[in-house]
Amino acid sequence: MDRDQLTGIILTVLSTVCAGTAPIFGKLAFRADVTPYTVVALRTSLAALTLWGFYLLFWRSCIRVRWPTLVGCIAMGIANGLGSLMYYPGLARIDASLAQLLYALYPVWVFIFLSAAGHPVSRLALMRLGVALVGVYLLTFTPGARFDFLGAMLLLAAGAAYGWHLVLGQWTLADVDSRTVTLYVITTMAVVVDIARLSMRTPLEFVPAAGWLAIAGLGLVSMALARLLVFAGLSRLGGIQTSILSVGELVVALLLAYLLLGERMTPVQWIGALLIGLSMMMISRESNLELESWERWLAAEMRNSPNQPRSSPKDRN
């Protein structure tokens, strides 16, 4: 391992840490009495403005975009924006650790969408699906305790929306610079969530200082900084498998939820969490397995966490 690769690994780990703080900052914003729709609107708008400023200063060439690319980015942004509108109301109803685990099942939805589109299904893919579904059951199986199934359904639906956004990207934007895709996808997300917030026709509530700090963490750290770091890391790692991004974000979210929010899971739920992590790690093991083409693509996408941008073709194996 040379120095450049080591730097890439460090940047990649930092991007994972930044992305893993998303549910924690979201919970802190709710504790400051900020509503979920206000949180998602302010967070996404702040991230979009930050990225536009950075691109204008350093990546101006990535701002140029062709119309077909822009249309594809808009479609992806709409799907991702709708997912955000389900993620934060769901996060407000259940613990941050469970929310991140349920949302992280987006590869299962990618599997379902691509299978429905006619892609071949391997036995390994079916095995991963079975492991993930057992993990979900154990996560939601809480004998003698009340579980908010509406919150869980919102998180699963948000993961489905993210999975659909990845499928759209594979079909329409496979050869486009991922930095350009990220800029216009997040900009579209900001427009979608802002329209949704304004359509509620309720005045923007007062946001205390603690709420603004949490929102700034979501927009600047969990979204903008995480994306800039992952680009810097992937540019140095190239095609090296970085599956730490797929599982590392879960580890960060679970650890921070335990330390900062005092959340606890039952032993049965921990088994479910381990099964979901196992399912994600199985997706990343494309090197010595004969996978279908879509599975190889999904393994490359797993270099990015659920809150990370798509990798460009030059970064793939």
Residue-by-residue DSSP string for 11-45:
HHHHHHHHHHTHHHHHHHHHHTT--HHHHHHHHHH
At residue 166, the pLDDT reads: 77
Q: Residue 108 burial (CB < 10 Å; 0-12/13-18/19+)?
A: buried
At residue 306, the pLDDT reads: 42
**Over the chain, what is the mean pLDDT?**
80
Half-sphere exposure of 1 (CA within 13 A, CB side): 9
Percent of the chain with pLDDT over 90: 37
pLDDT category at 57 given cuts 50, 70, 90 is: very high
Q: Residue 284 burial (CB < 10 Å; 0-12/13-18/19+)?
A: buried
The amino acid at 209 = A
Is the pTM here over 0.85, yes or no? no
What sign does the dihedral 232-236-238-244 (CA atoms) show? negative
Calculated CA dihedral for residues 242, 71, 102, 193, nearest 10 degrees: 120
Segment 288-307 mean pLDDT? 43
Return the SS3 of 267. Answer: helix
Tell me the pLDDT tens digit for each residue of 252-283. 888 888 888 888 877 888 888 888 777 766 65
pLDDT category at 12 given cuts 50, 70, 90 is: confident
Please name which of 298, 287, 289, 302 lies closest in space to residue 123, comparing C-alpha atoms.
289
Tell me the pLDDT tens digit for each residue of 16-30. 888 889 999 999 999
Structure-block tokens of residue 120: 């071949």
pLDDT category at 307 given cuts 50, 70, 90 is: very low
Longest Cα–Cα distance in the chain: 57
Task: Report which of residues 107 and 161 the model is more confident about.
Answer: 161
